[in-house]
Amino acid sequence: MDLAQLITRRQSVRRYSDRPVEQEKLDRLIEAVRLAPSACNAQPWTLLLVDEPALRTEVAKATFGKGLSFNHFALQAPLLAVLVIEPPPLAVRLGALVKVRQFPLIDIGIAAAQFCLQAAELGLGSCMLGWFDERKIKRLLHIPRRRRIGLLITLGYAAPDYPLRTKQRKQAAAMSSRNDYRNKAG
pLDDT value at position 40? Answer: 85
Residues 153-172 have pLDDT tens digits of: 999 999 998 887 777 888 88
To the question of domain 3-183 being in CATH 3.40.109.10, the answer is yes
Domain boundaries, the chain: 3-183
Predicted local confidence at residue 186, as pLDDT:
64
The three-state (H, E, C) secondary structure of the chain, written as one string: CCHHHHHHHCCECCCECCCCCCHHHHHHHHHHHHCCCCHHHCCCEEEEEECCHHHHHHHHHCCCCCCCCCCHHHHCCCEEEEEEECCCCHHHHHHHHHHCCCHHHHHHHHHHHHHHHHHHHCCCEEEEECCCCHHHHHHHHCCCCCCEEEEEEEEECECCCCCCCCCCCCCHHHHCCCCCHHHCCC
For residue 117, the model assigns a pLDDT of: 97
Query: Per-residue pLDDT tens for 56-80?
Result: 999 999 999 877 778 999 999 999 9
Q: What is the pLDDT of residue 1?
A: 80
Q: What is the pLDDT of residue 35?
A: 98
The confidence score (pLDDT) of residue 167 equals 76
State residue 138's pLDDT score. 98
Q: According to the model, what pLDDT value does residue 147 have?
A: 97
